[in-house]
Structure 1
């Protein structure tokens, strides 16, 4: 089984250099690295979303109806480039209605979108009545870091009801300082649960640490 090895929101060195150094002084380096991975995943679990950089996350979406505000834009009277003209012509020849233009990725930056990045966005359309297509990057606008919005260029043959399969990389390439703090707080809480569950040896209260972390992470939770 492959090991879970994300880039942690805070490093082992970050934890060992601060106020929790006394808690982890006897941890082996590999054990400390694993602790930070566990704390990172705990942060993501509380928030219900990915935060650390991730690779090749798969998603599937059902193509929903076109926004009524776009009906005029989709009119054949609007000038289009050659790709849009061909796509619209193909859709009309098959007797389809207005084409879907939008999809929203599940993972995006809840805060600080300037620190978030998407790469390697791959989109495949499985049409509702047969046939599939890998969408060329030139036919996509986005994804947008602050919303996960991906916009299909006018003329992309994407009928309502089709299945949209997406694979992409993303996450915080620069970790916000408060997220790093939450990760360290949860890591310290995990350590206390292992070596001092009664809370009598090190002067740290596990419940307080967890509460402090959750107060930070509530700003990153899905709403």
Structure 2
């Protein structure tokens, strides 16, 4: 069985070094590491999105519509040689029929400078047959603040095609408030195990969870 092992939003050492050290003093190191993984996944569940670094996430998108301003006959601006070749090919494919945009599901809701994308792979499957792996040189993006991927002019991407993508991403530098939310939820999980009545350690599990949810509400999808 494959083990779920993301890089947690906060480490076991972070939890043990702070105000919750009394809660986890009897935890074995491996159990404490697993606790932080569980708290990280709980953070992502509340936010409704990936936050910790991830690898090879698969997605599929349907190519829908195009912006009228991007019709190939809508501009007479001078172009460099690459743009000229791309437009020439786009004209041959049929003006106004090729999709230019795709938006990845996972992107940075805040602090895009701390988010990193890598290893973006795109495959186009056309409804009438045929597929194509899109070269990295034909893509602009992905953009950390929006997940926007822009296909270069001349990419053969008809409306209605299926766009399959895989990519790595996530916060490679974890925002401090996310690390705090992870620790709060980890402490709440511990209390649920060792002190469900809330009488031994002076921590209120409901308050801890509410504090974490308040932080994570700013990372939820709008």
Q: Distance in 2 between matches of 1:67 and 1:177?
A: 39
Q: Note the C-alpha offset of 1:68.
A: 1.8
Distance apart, 1:98 and its partner CA? 2.6
Normalising to structure 2: TM-score of the pair? Answer: 0.94
Contact 1:96–1:159 at 8 Å: present in 2 too? no
The Cα shift of 1:69 comes to: 2.4
8 Å Cα contact 1:74/1:98 also seen in 2: no
Conserved? CA contact 2:68–2:96, under 8 Å: no
User: Partner of 1:150 in structure 2?
Assistant: 149
Distance 1:216 1:93 in 2: 51
Aligned to 1:54: 54
Distance 2:141 2:84 in 1: 21
List aligned pairs for 1:10-159, cutoff 5 A. Answer: 10-71=10-71, 75=74, 77-80=76-79, 85=84, 88-90=87-89, 92-93=91-92, 95=94, 97-159=96-158
Structure 2 counterpart SS, 1:114? helix
> Is residue 193 of structure 1 aligned with residue 192 of structure 2?
yes
TM-score by length of 1: 0.94
Number of corresponding residues: 222
Q: Which moved more, 1:125-134 or 1:80-89?
A: 80-89
- Aligned residue for 2:45, secondary structure, equals helix
Gaps of 5+ in 2: none
How big is each residue's C-alpha offset from its partner over 1:57-96, in whole Å with a ceiling of 9 and x where there is no partner?
Answer: 000000011112223x554855555555555555554557
RMSD: 1.7
8 Å CA contact 2:86–2:152 kept in 1: the answer is no
Structure 1: unaligned runs, 5 residues or longer? none
Question: Contact 1:113 / 1:146 at 8 angstroms: preserved in 2?
Answer: yes
1:163–1:79 Cα change, 3 Å: farther
C-alpha separation in 1, matches of 2:181 and 2:76: 54
